[in-house]
Amino acid sequence: MTDSALIVVAAGSGTRLGRGVPKAFAELAGATILEHALRGLAKVDAAIVLVVPAGWEADAAAIAARAGVGGGADARAARIVVGGATRADSVAAGLAAAGDAHWVLVHDAARALLPLAQVERVMGALRDGARAVVPVLPVVDTVREASDAELGAIVDRSRLRAMQTPQGFDAALLRRAYAAAGDARGDSTDDAQLVQALGEPVVAVEGSELAFKITTRADAHRAELLLADEGTSMSELPTSEIRTGVGVDVHGFGGDGPLRLAGLEWEGQGLAGHSDGDVVCHAIVDALLSAAGLGDIGGLAGVDDPQHAGAFGEVFVRAAIARLAEHGWTPMNVAVQVLGNRPRIGPRRDEAQAVLTAMVGAPVSVAGTTTDGLGAIGRGEGVQAVVTALIHRRPS
């Protein structure tokens, strides 16, 4: 609703939550309560005034920007002001910064899960002519009057309503109510009450369970559970566990056998070293094991077995994949970089990729480079492979 200001009061200390930081700056499910609140409010067509504790203005600005309010070019950039000792003082500070908006909504940042539909109900009632609007919920508990020690009569709960926010007002009326109350507003936690004191009617619209005020640790826990639910239903992230790994291997030329690399046989002198010296296959093994946190090729059963001297690298790759499978892991893809003067990868890249992809059971890409003549590899003394692997498994 153009010509509206939305005052978000976030200047309380959060004594009952007891996190040691002002409540709006306490974290829930990876973001501050204020950020959760503002993410929803960013879609509201109103100029946002954010009321925060002294010293928290810069944090609030960063949070507002992250939540999508107050982004640079936005003419409706959130105004940030410092609140007061009581909630009413904070609302008064917000009102003083609300400019000449025709309508004002006042909302508790602590109601961080407020559904947008509730804001629309309040704004709708204002558009329909109401000058003071409060979202309310029926009271579910049996309620009794009481003094400290003694219980009094049960109050008919069908006549009771619990107050929520945002409360919406004709801005001039709310200003008049605050001016009339003066110091007598005391620590009123309900803005509509001050309007009512002027003899003005206050209209009720339907509130929502989700708009509950995060006050205690139990409330924070409930909010976290609700946010987690929302996360799983709204997010498109796969539910699998995903990990990356890295592997490196180097061998010098000088082997007796033919040159075996990337699962293929090449012309020229072979590589020295254990088994067939295929540094690509060995680095793939290390990358896969590294991703799964299962050690490295040295710990792979049977690698040191004399029967594997001269074995093809494929034997080890298959053993690594079997080892991963025992722990529920499946490769997603593998990327290989070969460093060396020879062999030249380009002409046989497709062949190498096809052989390795069949071996791993997931896409394997192969690239080659020289080291510009630098170091042992640059002098043509051997070949090096650097490999990354991505693997996944279903959460247990």
Under the rule (CB under 6 A), what is the footprint of ligand CTP? 9-16, 23-24, 51, 83-87, 90, 108-110, 213, 215
Smallest separation, CB 12 to Mg ion (Å): 5
Binding partner selected for residue 110 from Mg ion, ligand CTP, none, CB under the kind-specific 5 to 8 Å limit? ligand CTP
Site pattern 2..41 for Mg ion (x: CB under 5 A):
----------x-----------------------------
Smallest separation, CB 217 to ligand CTP (Å): 11
Residue 271's Cβ-side half-sphere holds a number of Cα atoms within 13 Å equal to: 33
Q: How far apart are CA 241 and CA 160, in angstroms?
A: 49
| Residue nearest to Mg ion as judged by C-beta position | 12
Nearer to ligand CTP, 74 or 224 (CB): 224
Smallest separation, CB 238 to ligand CTP (Å): 36
Smallest separation, CB 186 to ligand CTP (Å): 12
Nearer to ligand CTP, 11 or 315 (CB): 11
| Residue nearest to ligand CTP as judged by C-beta position | 12
Q: How far apart are CA 89 and CA 53, in angstroms?
A: 12
Smallest separation, CB 165 to ligand CTP (Å): 8
Q: How far apart are CA 37 and CA 8, in angstroms?
A: 9
> What is the 3-state secondary structure of the chain?
CCCEEEEEECCCCCCCCCCCCCHHHCEECCEEHHHHHHHHHCCCCCEEEEEECCCCHHHHHHHHHHHCCCCCCCCCCCEEEECCCCHHHHHHHHHHCCCCCCEEEEEECCCCCCCHHHHHHHHHHHHCCCCEEEEEEECCCCEEEECCCCEEEEECHHHCEEECCCEEEEHHHHHHHHHHHHHHHCCCCCHHHHHHCCCCCCEEEECCHHHCCCCCHHHHHHHHHHHHHHHHHHCCCCCCEEEEEEEEEEEEEEEEEEEEECCEEEEEEEECCCCCCCHHHHHHHHHHHHHHCCCCHHHCCCCCCHHHCCCCHHHHHHHHHHHHHHCCCEEEEEEEEEECCCCCCHHHHHHHHHHHHHHHCCCEEEEEECCCCCHHHHCCCEEEEEEEEEEEECCC
Nearer to Mg ion, 12 or 343 (CB): 12
Question: Is the distance from CB of 33 to CB of 214 less than 8 angstroms?
Answer: yes
Nearer to ligand CTP, 110 or 360 (CB): 110
Binding partner selected for residue 86 from ligand CTP, Mg ion, none, CB under the kind-specific 5 to 8 Å limit? ligand CTP
Nearer to ligand CTP, 83 or 340 (CB): 83
Q: How far apart are CA 127 and CA 106, in angstroms?
A: 16
Question: Is the distance from CB of 335 to CB of 391 less than 8 angstroms?
Answer: no
Smallest separation, CB 213 to ligand CTP (Å): 5
Nearer to Mg ion, 86 or 269 (CB): 86
Binding partner selected for residue 288 from ligand CTP, Mg ion, none, CB under the kind-specific 5 to 8 Å limit? none
Binding partner selected for residue 313 from Mg ion, ligand CTP, none, CB under the kind-specific 5 to 8 Å limit? none
Binding partner selected for residue 185 from Mg ion, ligand CTP, none, CB under the kind-specific 5 to 8 Å limit? none
Smallest separation, CB 191 to ligand CTP (Å): 11
Smallest separation, CB 78 to ligand CTP (Å): 15
Nearer to Mg ion, 87 or 131 (CB): 87
Smallest separation, CB 134 to ligand CTP (Å): 15
Question: Is the distance from CB of 223 to CB of 207 less than 8 angstroms?
Answer: no
Nearer to ligand CTP, 104 or 366 (CB): 104
Nearer to ligand CTP, 226 or 248 (CB): 226
Nearer to ligand CTP, 188 or 215 (CB): 215
# residues contacting Mg ion (CB under 5 A): 1
- Chain residues binding Mg ion by CB under 5 A are 12
